[in-house]
Amino acid sequence: MTTLYESAYAKINLTLDILCKREDGFHDLETIMQTLSLCDDVEIDVQTGKEWTLWCDKEDVPCDSRNLAWKAAELFEQHSGRNLGGVAIRIKKRIPSQAGMGGGSSDAAAVLRMLNRYCGHLFSEMELADLGGRIGSDVPFCVAGGTCMCEGRGERLRRLPAMPECTILVCKPEFGVSTPALYRTIDEKEILRRPDNAAMEQALKAKDLASIARGVWNVFDPVVSEVHPEMNEIRDVMQQCGALGQQMTGSGSAFFGVMPDAQSAERAAEQLRRRYSCIFICKPV
């Protein structure tokens, strides 16, 4: 038996734009994603000689073949032609669920990276990302990590210059958001403001943190904020504490602020903890 270890990093969407609904029911999008230092810990025992198992320290996470990490191990075994000889997966969760931070996708990506390394790097990074796209739209980016433009359903990746070092504060309110319902809602609305992805790319190339922060925008944010005024309260606290820019990530409900320094992030976190328990101070990775 061999035990493998990997960190599964959270993601945020610096920008997110929905272009159109496709004939297959999915949506074409353009989004610039960034991984954060917040992570789950994932371990895998391979060649256990036993039935497959999955354990997680969070009760609301499925511990069977519904889990994306389990699906990733199955998919890798099928496409690699390698017999893993029994698998035991253990996940210690830190990334909150229903947050738009790619928690399940990141766990799946970590499994793919581990098994690929164990089998002698059978797949290139992009091949592994393509494989991950069969599990979920965010998995390809979570395989690659860093800073990327993601297009199509999210499976087409183009690596961008790394985000400059900074402090990012994340607040996850108690409510969750149904992603399918959110897409149905936005299909019925006119999108009045879209992110300027070209300007964001230029800001990343220039390592201009102020311009990066000003450019964060997610077309889902106004839709969710209209229904959940808590989002505006979080926004206000971050702004009052000096955030350079703030925005919801993914389909929510986590909200992030690009803070000028760690001290400002701590001040904002202290205020937000009076109402919200799920607060993280992170760095881009």
Residues belonging to the active site: 11, 138
- How far apart are alpha carbons 154 and 79 in whole angstroms? 21
Q: SS3 helix, strand, coil % of the chain, rounded to 5? A: 35, 30, 35
Residue 16 buriedness (CB in 10 A; 0-12 / 13-18 / 19+): buried
Pairing of strands 217-218, 2-21: parallel
The alpha carbon of residue 232 and the mean position of all alpha carbons in its chain are separated, in whole angstroms, by 22
3-state class (DSSP) for residue 210 = helix
Pairing of strands 87-92, 2-21: unpaired
Residues 6+ away with beta carbon under 8 Å from 25: none
Q: Which among 10, 169, 138, 17 is positioned nearest to 72, based on CA atoms?
A: 138
C-beta neighbour count of 33 within 10 angstroms: 26
Residue-by-residue DSSP string for 114-169: HHHHHTT--S-HHHHHHHHTTT-TTHHHHHH-SEEEEEETTTEEEE-PPPPS-EEE
Q: Which among 113, 128, 103 is positioned nearest to 44, based on CA atoms?
A: 113
Which residues in 58-95 are b (16+ Cβ under 10 Å) and which e?
Answer: eeebebeeebbbbbbbbbbbeebeeebeebbbbbebeb
Residue position matching structure tokens 């098994």: 115
